[in-house]
Chain A
């Protein structure tokens, strides 16, 4: 259900795994990618740090919260850590539910909460050197609307 890993993942394979139940009417998946630009600067790479132990616990809490709000049938959350480069997949949230509205909402809810509650930190490499990415106010507002 939750995987924190260095290696890449296959969104198609994850999608197939979430589609195995004939009671499932909708599978919605989000894949986040590393961009080559941030705040007007070229980004050559991204290093992902996390808090082992707490990360898994925080993600499980988010999933548990989603399950109390929507009819969630299956979910997979993958987050990569370590050194990544532009174009690399970084995060995957795949959700199976009976109907599309719930599936879309769960997927968005989990991503919004993940961005403000799961202990991951990005350090990006730019032409000026390395810098820790600052949290965005917009992410906080997105999480608060739920």
Chain B
């Protein structure tokens, strides 16, 4: 199983804080996950393909594609605005 998290405006837009995908339900890579989730609707497609969208794998931000492994936590969120 992997956990997919959404934060801030994305969580509100998709009305989804967390998705759990069991083994067999999630694809091999981040780019495939983006494609898979984009099919859930226009809002999903917009969020997942926005060039400003940030991605974290197991709580570390990354700009590269990566392989998905059991137990991974993948988060999608808008540019950060703390401080």
Instruction: State the A residues within 8 Å of B (CB).
Output: 32, 48-51, 53-54, 57-58, 61, 79, 90-91, 111, 114-123, 132-135, 139
Contacts and interface: CB of A to CB of B under 8 A. Distances in A.
A32 B7 contact: no
Given A79-B82, A115-B80, A120-B80, A58 B8 contact: no
Nearest to A56: B59
B56 A54 contact: yes
A51 B83 CA distance: 14
Given A91-B82, A115-B83, A118-B80, A49 B59 contact: no
Interface in B19-46: none
Interface of B: 5, 7-9, 52, 56, 59-61, 75, 77-83
A51 B7 contact: yes
Nearest to A93: B83
Given A132-B8, A132-B9, A122 B59 contact: no
A51 B59 contact: yes
Contacts of A122: 81-82
A76 to B, nearest CB: 15
Contacts of A133: 81
Given A91-B83, A120-B83, A135-B81, A49 B60 contact: no
A8 B65 CA distance: 40
A75 to B, nearest CB: 15
A114 B7 contact: no
Given A58-B61, A121-B8, A121-B9, A51 B82 contact: no
Nearest to A118: B82
Chain A to chain B: the 10 pairs with minimum beta-carbon distance, closest first: A120-B82, A135-B79, A121-B8, A54-B59, A115-B83, A132-B9, A133-B81, A122-B81, A57-B59, A114-B83
Contact of A115 (B7, B52, B82): B82
A7 to B, nearest CB: 17
Contacts of A50: 82
Contacts of A116: 79-80
A61 B61 CA distance: 11
